[in-house]
Structure 1
Amino acid sequence: MASFLLRTKQIPFNCPFRPHEPKQPIRSTGFLRIRTSQQRLQSIVARGILDTYRRDQAVAEAQRASKSEDRSDEETCPAECVKDIFTVEDLDDALEGAGENTLVVVDFFKTACGSCRYIQPGFVKLCRASEERHSPVVFLRHNIFDEYEELSDLSQKFKIRAVPLFYFFKNGEVVEKFATRERRRIAKAINTHAGYEVLDPN
């Protein structure tokens, strides 16, 4: 009987671990907050880097598209469409050769002028569009500085100081002149003085 009680007596003892508890020690909530904040910050930084990369890629793609468009413009609108004049005699010959009721447009520019470089492709486009429609409009251009970096005789004759400046001649007379870098304004002036819609003003 004694041996039976000894075998069935429940003797308390300390278990080295409990199966239902995690083996790793529980960390404090403060440390978890710090770790979570660091992870969130890293995620924000990563997203910022990714956004910057995507934005740079978009800008690069737009620049490539713009360059390809410029190249296509150069292919369809060669600069030879607009003729260069250098002297007063060149302008007189062009006006005489244009004949009656033919509009002559002269672009006065200088190579160091940013606005002149800006409007030059648009001016060439207008020349090409006029040529495609077989319209009697002559497009000329003149650099107001000669090879000695002095004002040319033609520039002094018309007292030109500000560029880009556009002169419109008809029957040898100046019918309008203005300074601009807007292709639309030039197109409207051409349509007005030609007497019909030579170009699409848009």
Structure 2
Amino acid sequence: MGHCASKAKTKDDDSDHNVEFATGNVKLITTKEAWDQSLEEARRDDKIVIANFSATWCGPCKMIVPYYSELSEKYTSMMFLLVDVDELTDFSTSWDIKATPTFFFLKDGQQIDKLVGANKPELQKKIVAINDSVPEYKQ
């Protein structure tokens, strides 16, 4: 399925246009502190986190964003995050991101699953499986 490798950032890049990537109930993560706060909030509220490591220039990322947003509105018992790999380069590298989009599924800050690529059916399948496997997450 489609995915992009990382691209060098140019001074012409407009980082403001990544805001359109965070629609619905998707939280845009722009700092390591925001990431830590979101994970702490999810831990406190006992929520599964789905983190989308993405890039504004990546075609498959743009294609999956509306669907990711739609899922965030449907599965409100989960926390949907968006990390721009160009904005948080070092942080993304620490997660060993080799291609975008990469989705991580986290419980209590620990990875429970991962999906690389803009594969809508697989993304939904993983979310539904996690949602169905934990009774308190049922909608």
Pairwise TM-score range, normalised by the shorter structure: 0.7 to 0.9
177, 184, 196: which one aligns with 2:114:
177
**How far off its partner does 1:93 sit?**
1.2
Q: 1:124 to 1:80 in 2, by over 3 A?
A: closer
Partner of 1:104: 49
Residue of structure 2 equivalent to 1:8: none
Q: Distance in 2 between matches of 1:129 and 1:170?
A: 19
Maintained 8 Å contact 2:61/2:101: yes
Superposed CA deviations along residues 45-86 of structure 1, whole A, max 9, x for unmatched, are xxxxxxxxxxxxxxxxxxxxxxxxxxxxxxxxx814211002
Question: What corresponds to 1:89 in structure 2?
Answer: 33
**1:153 positional shift:** 2.4
> What is the CA–CA distance in structure 1 between the aligned matches of 2:72 and 2:119, rounded to whole Å?
15
Question: Would the alpha carbon gap of residues 154 and 198 (structure 1) be closer, same or farther in structure 2, given more than 3 Å must change?
Answer: farther
Q: Select the structure with the greater relative contact order (CA < 8 A; seq sep ≥ 6).
A: 2
Shift of 1:171: 1.2
Q: CA deviation at 1:127?
A: 0.7
State the identity as a percent: 29
Query: Residue 143 of structure 1: CA displacement?
Result: 0.6
TM-score, scaled to structure 2? 0.73
Asked whether 1:156 is paired with 2:93, we answer yes
- Count of aligned positions: 115
Write 1 or 2 for the structure with the bigger share of helix. Answer: 1
Give the whole-Å Cα distance in 2 for the aligned partners of 1:110 and 1:156. Answer: 13
1:38-57 correspondence runs (5 A): none
Letter in 2 for 1:186: L
Q: Is the 8 A contact 1:88 1:153 kept in 2?
A: no
The question of whether the paired residues in 2 share the 8 Å contact of 1:87 and 1:152 is answered with: no
Distance across 2 between alignment mates of 1:116 and 1:198: 27
Confirm or deny that 1:143 pairs with 2:75.
Answer: no
Q: Please give the TM-score of this superposition, normalised by the length of structure 1.
A: 0.51
Point out the structure with max Rg over C-alpha. Answer: 1
Q: CA deviation at 1:106?
A: 0.6
Q: What is the CA RMSD across the aligned residues, in angstroms?
A: 2.3
Which amino acid counterpart does residue 53 of structure 2 have in structure 1?
A: F
- 1:79 aligned residue: 23
- Residues 153-196 of structure 1, C-alpha deviations (whole Å, 9 max, x = no match): 22021121200110000011011112121222112212222325
